[in-house]
Amino acid sequence: MTVKTEAALRPRPALPAGHIAFWGGAALLCLALVAGFRVLDNEYAWFAGYFILQYVLLATAWNILGGYAGYVNFGAAGFLAVGAYTTVALRKAFGLDLLPCIAAAACIGGLLGLGTGWLALRLKGVYFAIATLSLAVLLHTIVVNWSFVGGSRGAYVLRPASIPPFVSYGEYLFVVMLVLAVIGVGIARGIEGSRLGMGLAALRDDERAAEAAGVPTLRLKLVATTLSGALMAVAGAPLSHYTGYLNPEAAFGLAFSVNAIAMPLIGGAGTWFGPVIGAVLLASLQQAATVTISSAANLMIVGVVLVIFAAAAPRGIVGLIRGGRHR
Amino acid sequence: MAGSASLTITGLHAGYGAVRVLEDVGLTVAPGETVALLGTNGNGKSTLMHCVMGLVRPSQGSIRATLDGQEIDLIGHSPEEIVELGIVLVPEGRRLFPLLSVEENLLLGAWRAAARPKRLANLEFCYDCFPRLKERRRQATGTMSGGEQQMVALARAIMAEPRLLLVDEPSVGLAPLLVARTMDKIAELQRRLGLTVLMAEQNFPQAVRIADRGYVLVHGRIEYAAASAAELNENQLVRNLYFGS
């Protein structure tokens, strides 16, 4: 946090060195990942990679509201499913490709987030969390009864075998999610170093005091819920193409909501890097468990890891690394 | 930095639901004055402060501020709009951002558009006033002592370049020596910046020491308005409330 303060004090050059390092590093990492996976030449690698990246984006999106502003969203699965079903609906109605569907999912998720923000004007703490949980249940019910997108039977999505520069469709999906995740993390990182991030931290610490200090808490909360909602929906937008089949049980799965909260907490909520580490760690564990034991073990693993971290490292991995500077 | 700022409250009624807290309260604070709002716990001092800041909406009455000759009705404005006018509250119990550092707390005080461009100079001013804060600028405020936290709370308000400063119970939770020092700091800031100050306080002797005059609030009503600090000291009501004689 010290770094952030000093950055806020210094007159900013057009493109600060930190940004160059971040975006350059991200680009290199992306290239290295794609090149490495190509060498592996294993379709499963793309599949597992996508699984992890989807959680990097979901956890980062949750963290914008939950970590920075302190508003706990228990309905991440609802937002993710809205993104997934936006794609299903638009594909069926207009035969749109995946990329325009992702853009549409961002808009619809953002609007839904804005609506949640309206809730956050009145509800705080536990009440806000319960309201988001109910929102997910409500959306679930709507989708189950919406026959155009398959209702409770679900919908099949015929995906192309491959898209030209990419070897397989799995690789294409991986690259798409990789780019989306990097954009999401970049946005979160940008918020963290900005006035918006400072204002959100203030209202997280003491909303009344933030108001009294002149921080426009209302506007900041709406920005945070909108961004968070948009990015969560984006994380879900390619889901139907990833599995080839989408039903409400899968899209609104409890695992999404639980992971969206557990990953930032384990990695270190309130920092852009925390959700990334948390997601990579937990999603890899779950993917490994799915292959070796059964996907039924996944939530149990999350639970156990979460309990260990809550007891041993309440500020997450990032907090462990930084040491006990706070409390 | 300050122009002239004054505050006039008339016929103010406010409460929370069915609970009525303030009844027909009227008071004025003239430019450059330090006015003490005295009263023991639960008499409505904080509610009055919150009404001025737009944090509590009064049911009746008017709150008007005159800033550089321009009169503005404060009722119906949001807290951030009121801060934008240069009316800033130091909340009771400090209410800092405990996980953020001293410097981050202070910079957040400079959210006001008029104060933002001058935040570096004002930060220097605050560090000059409170050298201890400069030593501790990287420390999370949640880990600081009560006296240090009160310094941060005062400095955070100063960062907004207030014209009218509201201070709510600065003595809460502080040792007597620190209360005296805090009062001295408020008087020093008032002098150096030419502030208009309205201070709610229970600690009568300390408040009267720096106040030009004061009001005594009892059960939500102004029971006594003193034209000078000397009058406050001599008043029988005040003696009854504070000294039991």
Mean pLDDT computed over every residue of chain A: 90
Q: What is the DSSP string of B169-214?
A: -TTTT--HHHHHHHHHHHHHHHHHHT-EEEEEES-HHHHHHH-SEE
Total residues found in chain A within this entry: 327
pLDDT recorded at residue B244: 63
Per mean pLDDT, which range of A31-35, A256-260, A308-312, B58-62 is the poorest? A308-312
Detail the DSSP E strand segments found in B17-163: 19-29, 34-38, 60-67, 70-73, 87-90
Task: Decide if pLDDT at B163 tops 60.
Answer: yes
pLDDT-based confidence at B189, cuts 50/70/90?
very high
Task: Decide if pLDDT at B232 tops 80.
Answer: yes
Q: Smallest Cβ distance to B101: which of A2, A209, A218?
A: A2
pLDDT recorded at residue A275: 97
Class of domain B5-243: alpha beta
Residues of A in contact with B107 (CB under 8 A): 5, 8-9, 198
Domain range spanning residue A31?
18-322
Residue with tokens 């909406």: B57
pLDDT recorded at residue B3: 63
Task: Decide if pLDDT at A7 tops 50.
Answer: no
Q: Backbone phi, then psi, for A4, in 5-degree steps?
A: -60, -45
Query: What percentage of residues in chain A have a pLDDT greater than 70?
Result: 94
pLDDT recorded at residue B245: 52
Residues 6+ apart with CB under 8 A from A297: A289, A290
Task: Decide if pLDDT at A266 tops 50.
Answer: yes
Cβ–Cβ gap B108/A218 under 8 Å: no
Q: Backbone phi, then psi, for B91, in 5-degree steps?
A: -70, 155
Considering the domain boundaries, does residue A69 fall inside one? yes
Detail the DSSP E strand segments found in A177-270: 245-246
d(CA A135, CA A207): 24
Q: Backbone phi, then psi, for B89, in 5-degree steps?
A: -105, 135
Q: Backbone phi, then psi, for B235, in 5-degree steps?
A: -70, 140
pLDDT-based confidence at B243, cuts 50/70/90?
low
Average pLDDT over residues A122-151: 92
Contact (Cβ atoms closer than 8 angstroms) between residue B26 and residue B10: yes
pTM, whole model, 2 decimals? 0.87
d(CA B182, CA B184): 5
pLDDT recorded at residue A32: 94
Residues of B in contact with A327 (CB under 8 A): 140, 142-143
Per mean pLDDT, which range of A233-237, A294-298, B64-68, B137-141 is the poorest? A294-298
Cβ–Cβ gap B80/A209 under 8 Å: no
Average pLDDT over residues B207-222: 94
Contact (Cβ atoms closer than 8 angstroms) between residue B214 and residue B38: yes
> What does the block give as tokens for B185?
């700091």
Distance from CA of B241 to the nearest CA of A (A): 31
Residue A184 to residues A59, A70, A106, B87: CA-CA distances in angstroms?
10, 19, 12, 38
Q: Give the model confidence (pLDDT) of B116-143 as tens digits.
A: 999 999 999 999 999 999 999 999 999 9
Task: Decide if pLDDT at A325 tops 70.
Answer: no
Average pLDDT over residues A141-167: 90
pLDDT recorded at residue A314: 84
Q: Smallest Cβ distance to B107: which of A198, A206, A211?
A: A198
- B residues 126-185 near A, CB within 8 Å? 138, 140, 142-143, 156-157, 160
Work out the number of other CB atoms within 10 angstroms of the CB of residue A95.
7
Considering the domain boundaries, does residue A217 fall inside one? yes
Distance from CA of B135 to the nearest CA of A (A): 14
pLDDT recorded at residue A327: 42
**B5-16 and B19-29 beta bridge pairing:** antiparallel
Q: How many domains does chain A have?
A: 1
The CATH number of the domain holding residue A115 is 1.10.3470
Report the number of secondary-structure helices (H) and strands (E) in chain B: 10, 10
Task: Decide if pLDDT at A105 tops 90.
Answer: yes
d(CA A312, CA A316): 9
Q: Does B101 touch chain A (CB under 8 A)?
A: yes
Contact (Cβ atoms closer than 8 angstroms) between residue B91 and residue A208: yes
Q: Give the model confidence (pLDDT) of A62-88 as tens digits.
A: 999 999 999 999 999 999 999 999 999
Residues of A in contact with B166 (CB under 8 A): none
Residue with tokens 């409170």: B130
How buried is residue A188: exposed, middle or buried, by Cβ count under 10 Å (0-12/13-18/19+)? Answer: buried
Q: Does A7 touch chain B (CB under 8 A)?
A: no
Q: What is the DSSP string of A130-182?
A: HHHHHHHHHHHHHHHT-GGGTGGG-EE----S--TTSSSHHHHHHHHHHHHHH
Considering the domain boundaries, does residue A79 fall inside one? yes
Which of A119, A316, A94 has its CA nearest to residue A229? A119
